[in-house]
Structure formats: C-alpha cells, structure tokens
Structure 1
Amino acid sequence: MALMPRRVKHRKSQRRRIKGNASRGNTVSFGDWGLQSLDPGHITGQTIEACRIAATQYVRGEGKVYIRIFPQKSVTARPLETRMGKGKGDPDRWVAVIRPGTIMFELTGVDKEAARDCFNRVAHKLPVRVRLVGRRPKI
C-alpha cells in the first residue's frame, strides 16, 4: 500500500507554487551517499515505494536504505466525464513536495560505484532530475 499520513488536520490542501531551494533536509545525515533533487516537483507515495523496492533489491542486505521524504500533501481530482462546477474533488493521492536540493534517499554500507548503480535505478522512476552526493566530513 502506498505511503500516506494516518491523520491530517485538513483533508484538502491547495497546490501552491514550489519556490526556492531546500533550506532543510539538504545534507546527507544518516548514510554515506545521498540522492539529491535538482528540480522542484511532487513525488507520489507510489513512486516513493517503487524507489524503495528498487534500492533495497539492489543492496540485498549489504547496505541500508534511508528514505528522507514523506507524502503529506493531498492532491484532489474530479471523476472523469464530470461537468464543471460542484466544488473540489475528493483526495486522489498523496505527494511529497520536493524542492531543489532536497536529499530524498540515502545509502550506507556500500562503495561509490554501488551507490551510483543503485541510485541510477532509482532515478529512472523519479519525475525530477537528481544527482549523487556524498557526506561532507565534519570539522
């Protein structure tokens, strides 16, 4: 089943425009390698689940996969072949709002080539451009 929140304060939310770069969640915190977004966009819960499956199948117990995004915004849709008007549609899917610079997935326990291959498989499933980033050494 796709990711979605247990409870929300408001069932329906406005779409809004994604402006600016990520100010939080833009550094590799848990793993050694991260997959960073270069474009703004929405990523559905089903897409996140597909990426998780692709990454965990690749590492096969060698490393650990961390998911840094969660779909907490509802997107509504009207039924097909419905006339205009009569209000806003029901929640159709849940999406995570991604800004440029957001670290979406992280890997630990693998070398750079394995991380590149793993994230290459994941990147094919995502609707935004991404790049591989490493952990910055602490000073």
Structure 2
Amino acid sequence: MKRFNLKNNPTRQYKQIKKNVNQTNHILKRGYVGLRSLEQVQVDVSQINSLKQFLQKELKIIEKKTDQGKIKLWFYMLPNRAVTKLSPETRMGKGKGPIVSYCCYIEQGQLLFEIANLPEVKTLEVVSKVRNFISFKAQLLSRFS
C-alpha cells in the first residue's frame, strides 16, 4: 500500500487550519489599557458598530471632564468575513447563496481595542461598562506600573 505525504498532498482540496498562533494580536502595542477576549466568538457587524459608538461616546464624556488631553482609541474588531444564507426551503445543489451581512471572528486572547491617555480611575468604569455591553468574557490589560 502506497503512503502519501499528508503535508503536500495535491489531492487535498480543503484549506488547512493554521496551527501556529499569531503572537502579536494579544500584546498592547499602542495604548496603556486594552480589553482582551477570553473566548472564541463570531461578532456581527451591528454588534461591532454599536460597541464602537458606545466606546466613543463614553470616552468623549470622560475627555470633557478631565484635563489630560485627547483620549486615543485603537479598535481591532474589523468585519472581514462575509455571512451568506440561502432560504430554508432551498434544495441542495443550488450554490452558496447571497451575502447577508459581515462578521468578525475573534480568537481567544485577541485584543479588542486599546486606549491611551485615560486616567486610571476611569479605566475600571469604562471596562466594566464594556464588559456588560458585550456578550462574551473579556479581560482587562494595562501597562500602568
């Protein structure tokens, strides 16, 4: 019986899953405070947009009350995958279906956003509000010493 190479098999038609983890998407790079997911989740465009608007609104209110300067926000949840759907009564063999919306797959340990120039006292308030807003578990990361 002939054994074939599993890694370089030309008859394999499906896409291989990456076994190595991206080492840079879980480290604070720009800001002093960030939120990291603890679960693997699919987030819809509407959820992403509402979270972004909520964050910007909260940070704008804090910025007006404090005199530390402009608060910067880096948002890493970008909708990059298309969600397709066929009607429920469609028979098999009719193709993939039209694009209904877009979504973002968040890996475990991936950063959701980073914030700079935010007072330490206000960070816990903002993070607790955001944790209540999202539907999955998340962890606070900070660079304060």
TM-score normalised by L of structure 1: 0.73
Matches within 5 A, 1:52-91: 52-60=52-60, 62=63, 63-79=71-87, 81-85=88-92, 86-91=94-99
Name the residue aligned to 1:39.
39
Q: Higher mean Cα deviation, 42-51 or 127-136?
A: 127-136
Compared CA separation, residues 130 and 19, structure 1 to 2 (3 A) = farther
Name the residue aligned to 2:24.
24
Q: What is the rounded CA distance, in whole Å, between the counterparts of 2:102 and 2:18 in structure 1?
A: 16
Secondary structure of the 1:82 match is: coil
2:115 counterpart (107, 112, 117):
107
Q: Deviations over 1:48-75 (max 9, x none)?
A: 1111111111111622221022111111
Q: What is the rounded CA distance, in whole Å, between the counterparts of 1:123 and 1:40 in structure 2?
A: 15
Q: Percent identity?
A: 19
1:92 aligns with 2:88: no
Structure 2: 5+ residue stretches without partners: 1-13, 64-70
1:130 aligns with 2:138: yes
Residue 24 of structure 1, CA deviation:
2.9
CA RMSD between the two structures:
2.7
Query: How many residues in Structure 1 have an aligned counterpart in Structure 2?
Result: 122
The structure with the largest helix share of the pair is 2
The structure with the largest alpha-carbon Rg is 2
